[in-house]
Structure 1
Amino acid sequence: MPCRSFIVLLLFLRSSSPLTFLLNKPHNTLCSHSDPTSSVPTVYSLLPASPKKWHTVGRLDKKTTGALLCTTDTKLVEYGTSGSVEKRYRAVCMGRLSEEQVCSLREGIDLKGGLGFSDACEVDVLDIGKRNTVLEICLRQGKNRQIRRMLHEVGSGVIDLERVKIGGLVLGDLERGEFREVNEEELKETIGYG
């Protein structure tokens, strides 16, 4: 990963162009600019200062880790949250999920709380252990705490949740809290933006 001072210099030299980073979001960070009721750090505290305001393309809740796009391009935010881009998650779930529970997740779930139904989605069972099940879930929607709510509705819960992929963007060797720049060509190739 390039040194932070070099990245800050790069940002100021390129201040007229939008910037986008892929961040490996760590556990216990917020996807908001500030929360006066919490001492939890935000994802923006992990990014270098920028002449333009940073935004996340969608959100991950405080406990969810993994791939998060951070950008100064508000049009990319709109595109990425419109349902145009698939997002893949690896969920470690409580208990051994039955085929019926997995089918319910695939078909769509009433999320309650005024959020309506989750769309039908791709759900693959990666592993069934004695006490938990590991799923890969692919969504285009981005409703509040959607996967956690879906699993709750089928009688399970989340032990660990990580976003592993956004379109064709993968974390690769990025450690938690690290980020890398994503250029216009890569955005076009991996998520169809541009």
Structure 2
Amino acid sequence: MSEKLSAMTTKPTLILNKPYGVLSCFTDELRRPTLAEYISVPDVYAAGRLDLDSEGLLLLTADGMLAHRLTDPEHKLPKVYLVQVERIPDATALDQLRNGVVIRGRTTRPAHIQLLEEPPNFWDRPVPIRFRKSVPTSWLEMTITEGMNRQIRRMTAAVGNPTLRIIRIAIGGLKLGDLMPGEYREVTKDEMKTLFTGF
């Protein structure tokens, strides 16, 4: 394992704070914003993805084995998101999210769900969240170990609390930290170890 880790840490691996409205790729036929506008390191590509309208931690690497570990559902790598939703989920809704909801005929894996008492302090989004005076919003911390298409949005919608904003703050032991949208940094050796030796 140490030889494999040593070999992998020589290849470029980056943490990017992906901005809202940016695709998790380097080219787009429709000329929408892509990673090419933010990443100058050659030969890296996104390991996994964030939707166009999601923000936060995106890992980029030149290492195919690392990318496989990050995206293979068998590894059940935890991913942590802060999620703004419409209304305040009640105990029943929170339990449903924790135990699994049915999305397109498939039940999601158990998830760690926490209703935050105070909203987190984040940067403003370039496209403001829709505001309805009669509908309050709240924030959840959601940790999931799978990556179904638009999973979080479908999970919260299934329990009656549509998602307004998603920010990924961690993948395994890798944390977004204080990176601002569009900023990136290299992953450290200690951080890399958390991806191969547990958390």
Pick which of 134-143 and 78-87 moved more.
78-87
State whether structure 2 residue 163 is matched by structure 1 residue 158. Answer: yes
Structure 2: gaps of 5 or more residues: 1-9, 120-134
Q: Distance in 2 between matches of 1:109 and 1:184?
A: 37
Q: Which residue of 2 aligns with 1:3?
A: none
SS of 2:95 mapped into structure 1: helix
Aligned residue type for 1:155: G
RMSD: 2.2
Structure 1: gaps of 5 or more residues: 1-16
Q: Which residue of 2 aligns with 1:66?
A: 56
State whether structure 2 residue 102 is matched by structure 1 residue 110. Answer: yes
- Structure 1 residues 18-76: Cα deviation after superposition (integer angstroms, max 9, x where no partner): 2100001100001123332x3321124311141x3x22121110111111110111111
- Identity in percent: 33
TM-aligned CA distance change 1:47 to 1:128, over 3 Å: closer
8 Å Cα contact 1:96-1:128 kept in structure 2: no
Paired residue total: 173
- Structure 1 residues 133-160: Cα deviation after superposition (integer angstroms, max 9, x where no partner): 2100001101111000101111121111
Aligned residue type for 1:187: M
- Structure 1 residues 70-118: Cα deviation after superposition (integer angstroms, max 9, x where no partner): 0111111110112432110000101121111111111111111x6x221
- TM-score, length-scaled by structure 2: 0.79
- TM-score, length-scaled by structure 1: 0.81
Runs of 4 or more, structure 1, over 2 Å off, are 32-35, 127-130, 183-186, 190-194
Q: Distance in 1 between matches of 2:56 and 2:197?
A: 21
State whether structure 2 residue 52 is matched by structure 1 residue 48. Answer: no
Q: Distance in 1 between matches of 2:183 and 2:177?
A: 11
Structure 1 counterpart of 2:17, from 24, 33, 36:
24
